[in-house]
Amino acid sequence: MSSSPQTPGTRKPMKTLCPDTFTFEFENLPEAYGRNSTYLCFEVKTNTLPSPDFPDSGIFQNQDQPPGHHAELVFLAWFFKRLRLGECYQVTWYVSWSPCSRCADQVANFLKSHGTVRLRILASRLYFSKKLENREGLHRLSQARAEVKIMSLKDFEYCWENFVNHEEKPFQPWMNLDKNSEGWNAELKNIHRSSESRSQSGQFGSTLLPQEYGRGERNPRDLLTEGIFYQQFNNKHKLKKPYYKRKTYLCYELNGPQLVKGCFHYEEGHHAESQFIEEIGSMGLDQGRLYFITCYFTWSPCHSCARKLVSFVKGNSHLCLKIYTSRLYYHWIWKYIQGLQHLQNSDVPVTVMTDREFEYCWTNFVDNKGMPFEPWEKLDSYSKNIEERLKRILEKRSTPDDLNEDFRNLYL
């Protein structure tokens, strides 16, 4: 049985490799000619995994067609959309090649922006290890809390058992496996020594590129007031008197070389989603780099805005977008249901906000004057009910009658 190749643009990991592919791609030769792709076998560990939409292991490889992402970036795009705020993750990579300098920079920036993620990288070979930029890239990974090591015989055996369709055949070490591992390990130690020396002498340049962002960081006037946050993000099903209009507010956070934040709200004839798309489109972002964007909505996107967001992401493959929402907008009407399904099917995940996300928004997007977030009554209960409704919408191919019946049963 051969490994199933990934369709370019896909974000789903493979489950296994065929034995010949593994042996050829992971052979730790000092000069590995003809190995032009990186294979990345991963494991993710946390208290709540595995789950159907977040398997705890799999395999990625380079994508040849645009955006041409290397395996490391394909993994990050997949992983980012499944991260849950506040959870801790231990990620292990077994890679045929160590990351190139550009991937190393992006992985390092990702780790700095997501402090709950710990990464361990075990490499069969070092990628163009004589090139200074690749050596410095490996050192920057170490500075970003990533543990980088060379694969040993035990690691190759582990990969064979867990990532190869070996049909009960034992792993057969190739000639000079241990000797090659020792050679690569000595090279990695030399890289860390020389890079540390350069770092101490101040010869490393900064990896941050402020000029990439046309508008820079948002200023304090963009923060929400306490009153607006509690009124607009409140996830109660029904309001009590005095009534007020609950508009769409959108708070976003863009992670790249810099962290950029902003807030938009519905204005007559101009949806918050449209303002957000215009804002990101005006930044002149480097299309050769991945950017991770998290949006927090008071109302989930309408059907029209859902299509706009999908088109925007598909037209900008360097952007990875995920959405948290406090409430579902007209979730019993078929076209809005289809909008939510369209987002999910287009790899733009939609998740219902819990107390963790509300608290995060309070800390990062509200002029809170140093006061802690105070959850409102039944916040958790409302979140669970809305989450159940969203789950029903996204999990099955329903007809309008089916979903209207679900609505009546859930009392939403």
Helix (H, G, I), strand (E, B) or coil at 362: helix
Q: Catalytic residue among 25, 72, 136, 357, which?
A: 72
Dist. CA 393–CA 410, nearest whole Å = 12
Among positive and negative, which fits the CA dihedral 146, 26, 164, 174? negative
In 3D, which of 152, 156, 150 has the Cα closest to residue 192?
A: 150
Q: Please enumerate in sequence order all residues whose Cβ is within 8 A of that of 354, keeping only pairs 6 or more positions apart, or say none.
A: 380, 383
Cα 166 versus chain centre, distance: 31
In 3D, which of 373, 258, 393 has the Cα closest to residue 325?
A: 393
Residue 124 CA neighbour count, 13 Å, CB half: 26
**Proportion of the chain in helix, strand, coil states, percent, rounded to 5:** 40, 20, 40
Length of the chain: 412
Dist. CA 306–CA 150, nearest whole Å = 44
CA distances (Å), origin 382, targets 7, 86, 340, 352: 39, 20, 19, 10
Q: Please enumerate in sequence order all residues whose Cβ is within 8 A of that of 185, keeping only pairs 6 or more positions apart, or say none.
A: 149, 150
Dist. CA 186–CA 202, nearest whole Å = 25
State the pairing for strand pair 147-150/117-125.
parallel
- Main-chain dihedrals φ then ψ at residue 388, nearest 5 degrees: -65, -40
- Main-chain dihedrals φ then ψ at residue 73, nearest 5 degrees: -75, -30
DSSP assignment of 193-260:
HHHHHHHHTT-PPP---GGG-SS-SPPGGGSBPHHHHHHHS---SSPPSSP-----EEEEEEESSSEE
| 72 tagged catalytic | yes
Active site residues: 72
